[in-house]
A and B are shown apart, each in its own frame.
Chain A
Amino acid sequence: MADEPLIEIRALHKDYGLDGVRIQALRGIDLSVGRGEFIAIMGPSGSGKSTLMHILGCLDLADTGTYLLRGRDVSRMNGDELAALRNREIGFVFQNFNLLPRTSALENVETPLIYAGVDRQERHRRAREALQRMELGDRLRHLPNQLSGGQQQRVAIARALVTRPSLLLADEPTGNVDTNTSAEIMSVLASLNRDAGLTIVLITHEPEVAAQARRRLFLRDGRLEAHP
């Protein structure tokens, strides 16, 4: 089990229709992600980055090809199994933070634990811990609009990590923040990978952000290439 890759993808294809035109978003992706890796996937807009991200995150299913997450075939799962997988195995960090509006930082971080069936006290304790690790221990009751961009993204990271997932998926996590905040967020991600051994797949179009990753891949016309 230890040598088994976390993610094993073979010949993944995904089409979708947009205004009557079939778009081949992914045309045969092969990807293997080991535990503890920090991978950046780069590519111009429209290259299929988001589609790949959605499939990796079990938010969408591929048309053909296989996707094994911890050895389990995702393509054969039903909606509830996919939801459980998203809940337990995957943490999402989005470009626009995607925090629940008018909901405190603590409640935001607690949300995945509600769906995991964790009881109230335990939820509270773990959410507070996750926020403290993100140095937001003094912002528990703040609402998203009372926090800076960098703080909001750290709440989102705390929320992604509170269920102790095996994979952190970050979709342009620095796309909506200034350069300093960008550096702050990347250093958080880098240290999570380095110190906690968290597997991270990062999608970005910024070379300086991608430079933080230990392996870089380039998505072009629906295919992955190794990036120098």
Chain B
Amino acid sequence: MNALAALQLALRALRRNKTRAMLTTLGVIIGVAAVIAMVAIGNGAQQRIAAQLASMGTNSLVIRAGSVTRGGVRTGAGTTTTLTLADAGAIAELPDVVALAPTLRTAAQVRYRGTNWGTAIEGVTPDHVVAHSWPLAAGTFITERQLKAAAHVCVLGQTVARELFGLNNPVGETIVIKGLACRVIGVLTEKGATAWGSDQDDTVLAPLTTVQRKLMGVTHIERIEVVTSGRDASDRVMEAVKRLLRARHRLSTGQDDDFRIYNRAELAQTSEESARVFTWLLGSIASVSLLVGGIGIMNIMLVSVTERTREIGIRMALGARQSDILWQFLLEALVLSAVGGVLGVFLGLGGAAAVARFSQLPVSVTPVSILVAFLFAGLVGVFFGLHPARKAARLRPIEALRYE
């Protein structure tokens, strides 16, 4: 018997019991749809987290001023004054360092005409927007020349712009920071809150040199954000920075570091890992329903084999081999699961689209999840169809013929 004839027999048998075939398929349809929709929701969450991480800069290290011990007293983190702009310049020369953003922060009251607002003032370099992948909404950013000249210019975060200027355009206006008049040259796009709830837009950026000399009267910096060429490079860069800074700060062996280095990639990995676990969790729960659908197929096929025992006997008398009977029943199970798989894919796509539309959850259907769900449905068909099919094929012809 050829494959086409076997398929025709299987289809004919299924057509004879349409309602039953459809109900059996429904189990697989729901299973496959559930897998696709759930994985789509999981993937959506994963992608949203990835996007958030990207906006934070995942391939980055943060170097902070550390603590020192003076006469037995250990000062807190960020209290040393040994980290300088020159250190940042040296780090910029290291391999795999793509961008670098040294910063120095202070808090200040800023004034514009009648209003004032207490906010963070950050001394930054021109690379800041690159390192933080933070584009401007209006105006220009601090230039190298303005940095060198410690120019009296600033760029506002959205919150500050809103608080001081309302709906007016701040670019070109002059605000007063701790008595220093600074011209607003740009406004940043809205970045939103961090995962820890602090408003990233509540900030004023000024040239690092301006903050150092004119606002704080210091020569050190607080932190350096280092963007590396990739997550793998981060570990290497971290080691290199450590060696470089120890050498530059003339720390002898046995002396503690006067700086701290944090690897953001680790944080990203943790978040992404938990998102992946979430996807797997949803997928596995949905798979259970696919499994139940498979058991439905087996159940119906077993009933069908029993019901059609006599038919099997007749077919054997007419010359069907064991393998012919096996294939007929296996193909019936396979057709059920394949049809269920196809319809399930459509239902799953529809379900995912509905979730995306009626809830705020991001949804992402990947071709891989469709393929996997479909193949899984096929596998379910083979797995749960094989037992009834073998049972049918192993019937003895005379017993099958005599079966009432």
In the complex with contacts A59-B398, A86-B318, A115-B311 CB distance below 8 A = no
**Binary per-residue interface labels of chain A (65-109) against chain B in the complex, 1 for a CB within 8 Å, 0 otherwise:** 000000000000001100110111000101000111111000100
Q: Which residues of A contact B145 (CB under 8 A)?
A: none
Residues of A within 8 A of B (CB): 54, 57, 59-60, 79-80, 83-84, 86-88, 92, 94, 98-103, 107, 111-112, 114-117, 120, 159, 163
Question: Count of chain B residues with Cβ under 8 Å from any Cβ of A?
Answer: 25
Can you add 12 more A-B contacts, CB < 8 Å, to A80-B322, A84-B321, A115-B1? Answer: A59-B397, A60-B396, A83-B319, A84-B319, A88-B319, A100-B311, A100-B314, A114-B1, A115-B315, A115-B321, A120-B4, A163-B319
Q: Nearest Cβ in chain B — how far from A142, in angstroms?
A: 16
In the complex with contacts A101-B311, A102-B16, A114-B9, A83-B1 CB distance below 8 A = no
Per the bound structure, the CA–CA distance linking A140 and B321 in Å amounts to 26
User: Could you write out 23 A-B pairs with CB less than 8 Å apart?
Assistant: A59-B316, A59-B401, A79-B322, A80-B321, A80-B322, A80-B323, A83-B322, A86-B318, A87-B318, A92-B318, A94-B401, A98-B310, A98-B317, A100-B315, A102-B16, A107-B12, A111-B315, A115-B1, A115-B319, A115-B321, A115-B324, A117-B2, A163-B319
Nearest 4 A/B pairs, CB to CB:
A87-B319, A115-B319, A83-B321, A112-B318
Q: Which residues of B contact A98 (CB under 8 A)?
A: 310, 313-314, 317, 401
In the complex with contacts A60-B398, A98-B401, A115-B314 CB distance below 8 A = no
Q: Which residues of B contact A101 (CB under 8 A)?
A: 311
Chain B contact residues, majority secondary structure? helix
Residues of B within 8 A of A (CB): 1-2, 4-5, 9, 12, 16, 310-311, 313-324, 396-398, 401
Per the bound structure, the CA–CA distance linking A163 and B9 in Å amounts to 19
Nearest A residue (CB) for B16: A102
Q: Nearest Cβ in chain A — how far from B393, in angstroms?
A: 10
Per the bound structure, the CA–CA distance linking A79 and B395 in Å amounts to 12
Nearest A residue (CB) for B400: A59
Per the bound structure, the CA–CA distance linking A99 and B4 in Å amounts to 23
Contact B319 A86 (CB under 8 A): yes
Q: Nearest Cβ in chain A — how far from B342, in angstroms?
A: 26
Q: Which residues of A contact B311 (CB under 8 A)?
A: 100-101
Q: Which of A54, A94, A107, A116 contacts B319 (CB 8 A)?
A: A116
